[in-house]
Structure 1
Amino acid sequence: MSLLFKHMRIHQIFGANTDVGKTVLTSALVRASAAAGHSVYYLKPVSTGPMSDADDERVLSLVGDHKSRVQSKCLFRFDDPVSPHLAARRANEIAAEKRTVPTDDAFVNAVASHIRDCATTSRHGSLSHMYVETAGGVHSPTLSGTTQLDAYRPLFLPTVLIGDSRLGGISSTIASYEAMLLRGYIVDAVLLFRDEYYRNWEYLSPYFAERGIPVVSVAPPPERKLDPTADASLTESYYQDIVPANGSSAIFDVVKHLDNCHARRLAELDSMPRRTLDTIWWPFVQHGHVQREADVNVIDSAWGDFFSVYNGKRPASPSSASSILEPQFDGSASWWTQAIGHAHPSLALAAARAAGRYGHVMFPEATHLPALKLAERLVHDGPGRGWASRAFFSDDGSTGMEVAIKMALRAFATREAGQLGGARRKDLGILGLKGSYHGDTIGAMDACEEGVYTCEWHDAKGYWFDPPTVSVRKGKTVVTLPPAIAAETADGRADVETVSLSWTYNIEERLKSPLAATYREYIERSLQKLKDGNGPTIAALILEPLVMGAGGMIFVDPLFQRVLIDVVRGPSPRTPSEWSGLPVIFDEVFIGLYRLGLQTSSTLFGTTPDISVNAKILTGGLVPLAVTLASDSIYRAFLSDSKVDALLHGHSYTAYPVGCEVANETLDIIEKLATSEPWREAREKWKVPEPEKASPTAVWSFWDPNFVHVVSHMENVAEVMAFGTVLGIKVKDDSAGYQSHSARALLESIKTAVETEALSPAPGGSPFGIHYRTLGNVAYFMLSLNTPASVVRSVEERVWTVLQNRR
């Protein structure tokens, strides 16, 4: 992951094109750094072409009298003077023994390892300089064929862009800069040759000055001479002109500027914890518990499944060679939003594409292609397939649920118009489950039982069943019944062992069981008591299908939820487009779109909702967006000749084009992932066949089943459950509940990177800590949909080790 050292300033050199003078100008920077008294490290990760033209050797020959202060290195060298990916492929083809072309991970690990070695050997107490020169232009491919901007991005080194002084160079320089911005790179300076004919520097200087980036131009080098002695003399004279002995030149100014950028970045990172404690009001945080600067998690950047966090307020990991940045696994998938990892270049490009074409546009009585395409795919091919007819856009999961509640209540009130007066409409209630959570807007809170997430204005409107739950205990799948339901079973036991985890989620099979009949009788009797007791008129059923996240990662018995749906809909035959009994809402903000390995819970339940809400994964964690899907019968409840009968609900950013375009891109990527080899391998571990052959009730996880089995037997673990990307571990604690600190205390050490003998799967090979969240005595860990198996295994090892050591 990103490396940053107090005693070594690093800059990566990118070119706006090939043959723009990267090595010439990098050599000038190396020479100026050495002349200023710094130890200098030059790295050319990949070199192609004959050894006589090797950049790492050439740089050493151009530093003049300062060679003792300079170390030069090339990691991957190929004789073929072509693009690195072709050179690597051809070298492999002609090798006596076929060698695997290094993957991007192996390539980045090699670069990072060398950087750490240089940081270890550099003189502490004085600032060393390092320059990492890339090959060709910004999008020239690396050994694997991946564009350099993407391959090097995990390292997140600050950069210098070498501009193009030739015809067309203005365009290529600006295009390269914008490509770097799209991937989050820090560009500290632009250097280019001063071509007196095209004079590109004159245009580029004010362009970049507006962006706070200095442009420095220097005279181009002389033509190379055939006579080696004459060429060396002419070249040395050139470098003496642009890097004079008196230290007075534009190149020296650039070196000082880069040092200042490095110092400012260090100072900024160091000041952020205190400034944050003085200014920020965090959500879901008791600020009385966060007083130390060391407790503020400063995230400098993020890539894939990892944050790059500042550790300058605590002792650095010995393995990081004094780096003040270290990788930290994003164990909550950034509050359940990440689908394909942080800073995914395809999503960044999708956002830029829509921002450049639309910005934001008014949506009522209008349309645009990103919104239309997203609505059609969600309704016809996505979670709304077979039952939904309309898609309503809003800002986030909570507002999407507000929309869903309004839809359901209006549909019920319209159908019951002859029995409900105007005043009674305001007393309509919601049926749901204890532990449910639908967001922090007032209407969404009112649809939940009073609890820790509610506030002074909360007015719980409804009735909430205490649900049975599913977990793995001591290797056995157990359904835990609440006391009221357990009392109605034949033996009165609260814990019921089932045949297997897969059988537990085979609802059609379990509907024939005695427990299904018990559930039905209990639900029907409870609802009748509610009606006879003058309770609120129940107007809708709202469920978080399968897993109630914020309530404590509660894995609800799916049979109970299916029976509850069947009961509230009544015995009358129903078509998917026509609601009966009560409208049913699926809050799939958390679990939808493959978070649990399923596109939607409908396939597992064997029935569809009348309204559903998707958010979070919808946009891959890049921007907020929610979509509420509704059946045609719900939609018709709002049709009339009167404006006041319309769904008078909206958001300034309804159908935000950037969000819609990113969502379409995310869904494209996820659909490919769902048929990928890593998913197939994960299913195999759980003995689940390919999707086209598997039962719609097939349950599997990216977490290893053997790991789940072992953890379930640990003395300090009450139960464990894994489903899709989600792992929940309930810690044994007599004071269980949201206010418990047991899970946090047990796993506290997992945040810090730990040295191991094996190479870390984190980008750059650095040991990593794990950022995690707890819900009382429940610790949960979450993956992206493309988290590499090597990372998953490493996280499992860290979790197991901590639990084992804290028995």
Structure 2
Amino acid sequence: MRQVGSVLWPKLRLLQVYGANTGVGKTIFSSVLCRAFQKRFPKVHYLKPISTGPQHEADDQQSVSDASVLAAVHDELSRYATGEDGVAIVETAGGVLSPSPSGSSQADLYRPLRLPVFLVGDHQLGGIGTTISAWESLHLRGYDVKSVALFADDRYDNHSYLKDYFAERDVHAFSIPPPPERIADTTQDAQSMRQYYEYVGSLQRVTTFTDRLLEAHDKRISDLQSMPAEADESIWHPFMQHRERSKDTIVAMDSAYGDYFQTYTTKREDQASSKTETALLKPAFDGSASWWTQGLGHGNPQLALTAAHAAGRYGHVMFAGAVHEPALRLAQTLIEKMGNSRLSKVFYSDNGSTGMEVAVKMALRAATVRNGWSADDQILILGLKNSYHGDTIGTMDLSEPSIYNKKVEWYSGRGHWLDFPQVKMRKGQWVVEAPEDWEGAQATSDQGRVFDSLDGVFDFDKRKHDHSIYMDYCGAMLAGLEKEGKKIGALILEPILLGAGGMMFADPLFQRCLVESVRDKGLNAQSTGDEADWAGMPVIFDEVFTGLYRIGRFSAASFLGVDPDIVVNAKLLTGGLLPLCTTTASQSIFDAFLSDDKSDALLHGHSYTAHAVGCAVANQSLDIMMKMDRDGTWTGFKESWSQPGHETAPPADRKVGAWSMWSNAFVKAISHRSNVDYVFALGSVLAISLKDPAGASYASTAATGLRDKLFAGNPGEQWVIHSRVLGNVLYLMAAMTTSRETLEVIEEKVFTALE
């Protein structure tokens, strides 16, 4: 699939002419600018991709996709970039939000190119509001509007008002005399217009604009080229060893749109054999979904509008003892759509790490109150090895330290971690492998339990033998802890996928059995008899990464068929736009904090708790994804993973099981690569574990070569893949809006890179 992004060449200056409305003189202004630039450059190009006007010239009856228009514009502009000084003016049709042939607005159609904009204002009655509205529509979509210009009209004097208005917003605005009246004689009329263009093109205000455009072009390039070195001097990046970082490895991002970053690096391709000037920006597929947050595409106009509306309606408002509609609606949606009858209260925080710390405080308080423990008691958390629940001191204290290969200095050993069986695809077969030294290893054969399909792993009814062995193992483990006098305050699980700890696919049946065991034979106090109450110990599900459709369902807990007492959601919660986190708890957890003493309350929060903009964007994001789930947007992906005969079964008999946006055939194919240990895919997630003779661990560098190869691409490639690694594991994620066509090309690139 063809992918084009922002265009930027050193010697080809670009400008896109938008109009605040139809009939405001876009073509006249384009002609004036062409004439002005011709005085400075030997080559000035004019391009109007879509036309309106007379019926025989209009494109509104044509069936043309946005992708085809973008590709054609990109190709044409590329032909202009010969390495010689020049200018290209791209004129739009109608107004800023006028529909393109596909039905999308022009502002959205051309946004991937993100050309500098020259906005022609409306000089007519009502034109002030029209012009300001057009500018705002472009501005909130991420365009850089370099200037606003319009005809000077003494009757309405719009130009005087708008010049002052835009000056306050640091936008250059000017006016030019209107064109002469049309002359009936076409020859005389053409001569009159030539004289007009010559005169206006020489006006100081026009040449001032051309100077500003050229300066802005050079400054944009200069700023972009200096960013990596300046960042190396002043930025402390997260999650990396800085001895491995330099100005040559830091990626400068000019913008992002849809699935792609628009990137610049100091490492440029050799252009000796190229007939065109090398572009400074290259689209890079956001392979990590920007640390698992991206769900609805970068620069999503729906989310941008929602955020702007909430910012205008509320800004930020105090949330202590108050409520606003976005926060209330979001809480009600989460409680309803999770399908968990235990959950009833939503607590807001700003990110997943903080939300998990809140969850731990909730669970430990509830367990302490019911069990009558004191502050002197050592209370442990039960979890899985290689777990990771965020970077606050409270959550790092609970993470299994081996993921860093070293103890973090504040680690105090408050967790009891269990090794666990993992789901992997090897050589085209799904297997469940127990750890080599695991006490429950009798659950598997030497090669592991083999399944014909991913659905087979989740078919618990057909895994009764495994269920029995897992329950015995969990029961014995809990009995041993009880015999040792251990006090366990909570069970914490990342359902299905352990993310930052190394991208591990836990056997869902084992996780289910672990929850059943702590509730059935768990340590400490038993339940109160209320089915919605916790028993044994509170169960926390960390769905920061796995929740909200990331692995195919609204609730990751639904894969296990058990209901946690506390659930934490973040990342996809706002579709990738803003930080926000929710910790949703049961009534019994909430009641543990009730008393007449304020010191017994959950005294946790921050200044931007339940930020109205974040809550509003979360509501919009969830609405979009729930609609996609209902309307069959992902049906094509699901068909790739369905069992034989599924497609012909009556709709009422079809059961949606485990599925992925990455094709079944592709996952099987790469599992046969000689350098691949195993692979798995679920929802939008793909993880590839590479063989490392030195041993697979968080400190492994086995996957960095593949990561670098995908980002470098092959010579002449128009776009590349930006990805992240966790030790010997390279992972890729799609947004929930990524197309099948895009993923097919990515699959091909990955398959080739693994050779």
Instruction: Give % identity.
Output: 45
Counterpart Cα distance in 2 of 1:673 and 1:659: 21
Counterpart Cα distance in 1 of 2:266 and 2:238: 25
Counterpart Cα distance in 1 of 2:261 and 2:564: 37
Partner residue, 1:109: 71
Partner residue, 2:489: 539
1:300 pairs with 2:259: no
**Gap change, CA 1:799 and 1:693, over 3 Å in 2:** farther
Counterpart Cα distance in 2 of 1:595 and 1:281: 29
**Gap change, CA 1:552 and 1:43, over 3 Å in 2:** same
Counterpart Cα distance in 2 of 1:31 and 1:657: 49
Gap regions ≥5 residues in structure 2: none
1:200: Cα distance to partner?
Answer: 1.5
1:693: Cα distance to partner?
Answer: 4.8
* TM-score, length-scaled by structure 2: 0.94
Q: How does 1:636-785 map to 2 (within 5 A)?
A: 636-687=591-642, 693=652, 698-735=657-694, 736-754=696-714, 767-785=718-736
SS at match of 1:339: coil
Q: What whole-Å deviation, never above 9, does each CA across 1:744-780 have from its counterpart, x for those lacking one?
A: 1234211024368xxxxxxxxx721100101111111
1:23: Cα distance to partner?
Answer: 0.8
Give 1:308's aligned amino acid.
Q
1:48: Cα distance to partner?
Answer: 2.8
**Gap change, CA 1:161 and 1:127, over 3 Å in 2:** same
Q: What whole-Å deviation, never above 9, does each CA across 1:76-98 have from its counterpart, x for those lacking one?
A: xx6155xx43x33xxxxxxxxxx
Partner residue, 1:522: 473
Counterpart Cα distance in 1 of 2:447 and 2:665: 26
SS at match of 2:417: strand
1:139: Cα distance to partner?
Answer: 0.5
Q: What whole-Å deviation, never above 9, does each CA across 1:173-195 have from its counterpart, x for those lacking one?
A: 11111111110000111111111
Counterpart pick for 2:118 among 141, 160, 182: 160
Counterpart pick for 1:202 among 144, 147, 160: 160
1:336 pairs with 2:298: no
Check whether the contact 2:710–2:750 (CA below 8 A) recurs between aligned residues: yes
Q: How does 1:11-410 map to 2 (within 5 A)?
A: 11-50=15-54, 79=56, 84-85=59-60, 87-88=61-62, 101-120=63-82, 124=83, 126-244=84-202, 249-291=204-246, 293-315=247-269, 321-380=277-336, 382-383=337-338, 385-410=340-365
Counterpart pick for 1:504 among 452, 457, 468: 457
SS at match of 2:48: strand
Q: How does 1:454-465 map to 2 (within 5 A)?
A: 455-465=408-418
Aligned residues: 737
1:496: Cα distance to partner?
Answer: 2.6
**Gap change, CA 1:569 and 1:677, over 3 Å in 2:** closer
Counterpart Cα distance in 1 of 2:514 and 2:136: 54
Check whether the contact 1:182–1:349 (CA below 8 A) recurs between aligned residues: yes
Give 2:56's aligned amino acid.
D
1:525: Cα distance to partner?
Answer: 2.0
1:5 pairs with 2:29: no
Give 2:65's aligned amino acid.
T
**Gap change, CA 1:499 and 1:228, over 3 Å in 2:** closer
Partner residue, 1:597: 552
Check whether the contact 2:542–2:567 (CA below 8 A) recurs between aligned residues: yes
Gap regions ≥5 residues in structure 1: 51-77, 89-100, 757-765
Give 1:79's aligned amino acid.
H
Counterpart Cα distance in 2 of 1:193 and 1:166: 9
Check whether the contact 2:250–2:265 (CA below 8 A) recurs between aligned residues: no
SS at match of 1:685: helix
Check whether the contact 2:434–2:444 (CA below 8 A) recurs between aligned residues: no
**Gap change, CA 1:637 and 1:265, over 3 Å in 2:** same
- Runs of 4+ off more than 4 Å: 316-321, 571-576, 688-697
**Gap change, CA 1:139 and 1:238, over 3 Å in 2:** same
Counterpart Cα distance in 2 of 1:594 and 1:795: 21
**Gap change, CA 1:234 and 1:12, over 3 Å in 2:** same
SS at match of 1:567: helix
Give 1:145's aligned amino acid.
G
1:798: Cα distance to partner?
Answer: 0.4
Q: How does 1:383-462 map to 2 (within 5 A)?
A: 383=338, 385-417=340-372, 420-424=373-377, 427-453=378-404, 455-462=408-415
* TM-score, length-scaled by structure 1: 0.88
**Gap change, CA 1:414 and 1:723, over 3 Å in 2:** same
**Gap change, CA 1:786 and 1:488, over 3 Å in 2:** closer
Give 1:307's aligned amino acid.
F
Give 1:467's aligned amino acid.
F
Partner residue, 1:92: none
Check whether the contact 1:485–1:522 (CA below 8 A) recurs between aligned residues: no
Counterpart Cα distance in 1 of 2:662 and 2:425: 14
Check whether the contact 1:488–1:518 (CA below 8 A) recurs between aligned residues: no
Counterpart Cα distance in 1 of 2:440 and 2:632: 47
Counterpart Cα distance in 1 of 2:213 and 2:29: 14
**Gap change, CA 1:446 and 1:79, over 3 Å in 2:** same
1:473 pairs with 2:433: no
**Gap change, CA 1:262 and 1:576, over 3 Å in 2:** farther
1:169: Cα distance to partner?
Answer: 1.4
